[in-house]
């Protein structure tokens, strides 16, 4: 759920068609009510809590190769299929759960992505059992605020040194499907950075 200068990452490297503030004052999402609501009310606001961050990481991984709007439209189905993204519940999923997920037309039925979600839930639980948390790890890579907002999407990167370091730390902790570009999208979506472009109605 991110958006970047190379597509939608940030609007996320893969999907969004961004509109410029000069025409709509909304940097993406103005062509669809669900997308616009996500832009206005969620993208770029701080997200805390292991379950909430786990959800964002899973959905960012699921989005790879697809449009973010597709993921938004399936979001409630994902929440139902993955037990509200409770890490402990998903970490305990077994072969029967995997089969159930692969038969669920409401979600993205990609074997590697579904298995990654279960693997990442187990990584979240392992962090908690070690006395840490996904929240603590994730937010430790928040960069200093930008000196000025990006003028347009050409100034929004696909990844940053912080997202590279975050991806490396998550992989070390047992997470998968967490490359630097995907993690920068997650950083954008979860408010670690504010990449709403200058003049955007949601710029805070």
Q: Which domains does the chain have, with CATH numbers?
A: 48-148+155-185 (1.10.340.30)
List the beta strands (DSSP E) in 12-104. Answer: 12
Helix %, strand %, coil % for the chain, to 5? 50, 0, 45
**At CA 119, angle to CA 118 and CA 123, rounded to 5?**
115
Least Cα distance to 146 among 203, 194, 191, 200 occurs for 194
- How many whole angstroms from its chain centre is CA 145? 19
The answer to whether residue 19 scores a pLDDT higher than 80 is no
Say which residue, 31 or 93, is predicted with more confidence: 93
Residue 175 near residue 50 (C-beta atoms within 8 A): no
Q: Give catalytic residues, as residue numbers.
A: 38, 60, 68
pLDDT at 204 (0 to 100): 74
pTM, entire model: 0.89
């Amino acid at each position: 759920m991110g958006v970047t200068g190379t597509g939608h990452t940030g609007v996320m490297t893969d999907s969004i068609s961004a509109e410029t503030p000069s025409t709509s004052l909304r940097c993406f999402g103005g062509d669809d009510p669900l997308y616009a609501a996500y832009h206005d009310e969620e993208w770029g606001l701080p997200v805390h809590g292991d379950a909430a961050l786990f959800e964002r990481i899973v959905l960012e991984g699921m989005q790879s190769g697809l449009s973010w709007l597709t993921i938004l439209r399936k979001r409630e189905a994902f929440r139902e299929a993955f037990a509200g993204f409770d890490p402990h519940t998903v970490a305990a999923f077994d072969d029967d759960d995997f089969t159930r997920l692969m038969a669920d037309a409401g979600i993205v039925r990609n074997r590697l992505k579904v298995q990654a979600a279960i693997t990442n839930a187990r990584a979240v639980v392992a962090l908690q059992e070690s006395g840490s948390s996904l929240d603590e790890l994730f937010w430790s890579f928040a960069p200093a605020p930008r000196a000025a907002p990006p003028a347009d999407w050409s100034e929004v990167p696909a990844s940053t040194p912080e997202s590279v370091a975050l991806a490396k730390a998550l992989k070390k902790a047992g997470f998968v499907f967490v490359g630097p570009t995907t993690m920068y999208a997650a950083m954008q979506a979860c408010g670690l950075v504010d990449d709403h472009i200058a003049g955007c109605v949601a710029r805070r």
